[in-house]
Chains A and B, each alone.
Chain A
Amino acid sequence: MEYRRGGVVIAGIGVTDFGALPGRSTISMTVEAARKALADAGIEKRAVDAVLVKPPTSAPRLMTGQTVAEALGLQPALGMSWDQGGAAVIGMISYAALAIEAGMCRTALICFADNPKTGSAHVYSNAANDDGVFGWIGVPAAYAMIARRHMQEFGTTERQMGAIPVAARRHGAANPAAQLRKPITIEDYLALPHLVSPFRRDDCALVSDGGAAIVLMRAEDARQHGVRSPIPIMGFGLGQSSWDVRLRPELTSTMANRAGSMAFGMAGLTPSEIDIAQLYDCFSIVPIMTLEDYGFCKKGQGGHFVADGAVEIDGVLPLNTAGGLLSETGMPGMQLVIEGVRQLRGEAVLQAGRAGTCIVSSQGGIMHTHGTLIMGAR
């Protein structure tokens, strides 16, 4: 069975507010986002026969997929929770698209919510095993380790890396729903002290509460239901680098290259045919390496590619047009898919001039897992 290009569409999107949401449980935020996504798709809840959930990190527990389905009052044919870190979003989209095409279900609801900001972010600052004795603590340091190697191997500069938060903060400032709405210049960025070098605080994702959901179905079903603005899924791909940062033989490439090739092949597109990019920006080095691994530029040239406004809304490849993880919300990835859908619908707050195709990346752990999604039709 091959995935038919455009055979499955994203029919609905829904989000809660982003930021600090004290007193909201993850179940409550999931239900809100799901209700909004169903309303956006214009379909009844009982049409849903697959519920896929990325579990929260703030209070991990087993069987989240079943807890969410129960809160939604559903008994789906397919129900599961999916542990792939931030790559789970595209992992779930890939699986749901294949399951729909294979006839295992017709309408999939994919959802997520977490509250590390007002709940607990402990999972992001634990020492791993014995390495705590060396002071090897916290997620930012692990990504900074990768960024340093990229700078040492390819001459990538902090000024080039800073182009990522500068673009994200410009886009977030224009977004009323963004958690952080304060633009910065590259000089502002360079004047900041290091947090864990080579990173500054502004190289690091926000910590945020919030939930999001999307609805997938066959293109034919979307037409039959009269879905207002379905967005075709053209291709997807996955890849797992696996190795912990301290053991990974190559720090400057990941399985994003495999995930990207798979998605481009399925979509029948090349990087030059992509209008906009929503690339997981938990830390500023990640979109730079992702652009290289996807073939938008040669390995090591990502810093040059993003410098001087190339990835801002009026640049050659608008990136993270709602602010991404650095400015809109630190949510692990669903917000990037949803902004891509808005852009392709022509309904984004900061609308890109050319928005016929969009690539989305999601990644998890410390660049351990990767997913690529390509949407839109030319």
Chain B
Amino acid sequence: MAETLLPQPAETGLQAPFWAAARDGVLAFQRCANCGHAFLPAREECPECLLPEVTWESASGDAKLISWVVYHRAFHPAFADRIPYAVAVVELKEGPRLISNLTGIDDLEAFRADQDLRVRFDTEGSLVVPRFVPA
């Protein structure tokens, strides 16, 4: 079965440690060693205190759902076979927000804002992708 490769995350650069951690089944985020602010995506300077003292930390995997959309049309060929699929803004228990997929139930419209979620790691070829399911 011919499949178009998913758009791949950058292999180098600031966000690469997030994807390396995912390969080990770990959800990672950044924390400022100076002021303690927790955030994603990765940056060179803390967006709160502006100092370049950022570190990586492991998240519990617990999150809540902020909002989501369901694609009924593919905006990229790699997703033509995956319609319908849900993309969400989730907020980790530790604070940072990120984009991910919502999955785990048949009716993708049946989620509720602020509901509890749990991370699940899916293998996609050579990539491990963190997605979220109802807790």
Contacts and interface: CB of A to CB of B under 8 A. Distances in A.
| Interface-central residue, A134, A146, A197, by most chain B CB under 10 Å | A134
Interface in A116-149: 125, 127, 129-138, 141, 144-146, 148-149
B76 to A, nearest CB: 5
Contacts of B98: 246
Chain A binding surface, main DSSP class: mixed
Contacts of A146: 67
Contacts of A195: 72-73
B89 A194 contact: no
Given A198-B69, A247-B97, 8 more contacts: A131-B99, A135-B79, A135-B82, A141-B75, A149-B67, A152-B114, A193-B72, A199-B69
A193 B19 CA distance: 35
A44 interface: no
B50 interface: no
A328 to B, nearest CB: 25
12 contacts: A129-B10, A134-B100, A135-B79, A137-B76, A148-B68, A149-B113, A152-B113, A194-B72, A195-B72, A245-B89, A246-B98, A251-B66
B59 interface: no
B112 interface: yes
A105 to B, nearest CB: 37
Interface string A177-199: 00000000000000001111111
B44 interface: no
Interface string A82-120: 000000000000000000000000000000000000000
Interface string A292-328: 0000000000000000000000000000000000000
A127 B67 contact: no
A197 B129 contact: no
Contacts of B75: 125, 135, 137-138, 141, 196
B20 interface: no
B112 A127 contact: no
The 5 closest A-B pairs by CB, nearest first: A132-B7, A152-B113, A130-B9, A149-B67, A138-B75
Contacts of A247: 97
Given A135-B101, A246-B99, A152 B71 contact: no
Interface of B: 6-10, 15, 18-19, 41, 66-73, 75-76, 78-79, 82, 85, 87, 89, 97-101, 109, 112-114, 124, 127, 129, 131
Contacts of A2: none
A194 to B, nearest CB: 5
Contact of A130 (B15, B78, B112): B15
A268 to B, nearest CB: 38
Contact of A127 (B7, B82, B101): B7
A69 to B, nearest CB: 37
A132 B77 CA distance: 12
Interface string A210-253: 00000000000000000000000000000000000111000100
B89 A145 contact: yes
Given A125-B75, A146-B67, A135 B85 contact: yes
Nearest to A132: B7
Contacts of B15: 129-130
A125 B8 CA distance: 16
Nearest to A139: B75
B67 A133 contact: no
A50 to B, nearest CB: 36
A78 to B, nearest CB: 33
A243 to B, nearest CB: 10
Contacts of B100: 134
A133 B9 contact: yes
Contacts of A127: 7, 76
B29 to A, nearest CB: 12
B68 A133 contact: no
Contacts of B9: 130, 133
Given A131-B99, A133-B127, A246-B99, A251 B67 contact: yes
B112 A152 contact: yes
A146 to B, nearest CB: 7
Contact of A152 (B67, B97, B101, B129): B67
